[in-house]
Amino acid sequence: MSKMVQALLSGLFITFLLDFFFFLGIFQNYIRVHEINLYYNILFVDNQSIILFIVISFLLGYLVIYKSSKLTLVLIAILALFSLSTLIKPVGRSVAEILLMKKDVQIHTDKYSYRGDILYNGRENITFYDYKFKKVLKLNKNKIIGEY
C-alpha cells in the first residue's frame, strides 16, 4: 500500500474516532437530557461538516505517516482531550448549545405564534422550548410560516 493511501486511511480513522466521541458527548448530555427523539446516527450525519472532516483527516494522516514526531502525538492528544471533554456534562451541554440551539426565536404557524428556543432543528421537525407554556414542543417544519 502506498504511503498516500496509508495517510488517508489513518487520518480518516483518527478523525472518525475523534468525531464519534465528540458527538457522543453531545448526544448524552444534550439530546437525551432534553428528551429529543433522535438517533445518534442522525445527529452524527446531519451535523457533520464533511469539508472539515476531510481537511482534518488529510492533515492528521499526513502528520502521522510523514511527520511522526512528539508534536504529532501532542496534537492528537489535545484533539482527543477536546473530543472526550464533551462527555463531561457541563462541557457537552455548552458545546451542544453553541452548535444546535437558537435562542429567543419567534415561530409562526397558520394558527399560533410561539416564542422560545429552538433546541434542535431536525429533518422534519423542530424541537422547540416555548417560554409561555414552559414546555418542549415538537413543530412540523411544513406547518411553519416564514423563517425562524
Q: What is the pLDDT of residues 30-53, one digit of tens each?
A: 999 999 999 998 999 999 999 999
% of the chain surpassing 90 pLDDT: 80
Per-residue pLDDT, 28 = 96
Domains of the chain: 3-99 (no CATH), 101-145 (2.30.30)
DSSP 115: E
Query: ∠ at Cα 49 (52, 58), nearest 5°?
Result: 30
Q: Is the pTM of this model over 0.85?
A: yes
Positive/negative CA dihedral, 127, 141, 103, 137: negative
Residue 68 has pLDDT above 90, yes or no: no
pLDDT digits (tens, 9 = 90+) for 80-124: 999 999 999 999 999 999 999 999 999 998 888 999 999 999 999
Q: Which cell is 1 given?
A: 500500500
Please enumerate, as own/partner, the contacts of 36-45 that have beta carbons within 8 Å and a separation of 24 or more.
36/119, 36/120, 36/127, 37/138, 38/120, 38/122, 42/122, 42/123, 44/19, 44/20
| Residue entry with cell 492528544 | 77
More confident residue, 11 or 146: 11
Instruction: Give bridge partners of residue 136 from the DSSP assignment.
Output: 129
C-alpha radius of gyration, the chain, whole number = 19
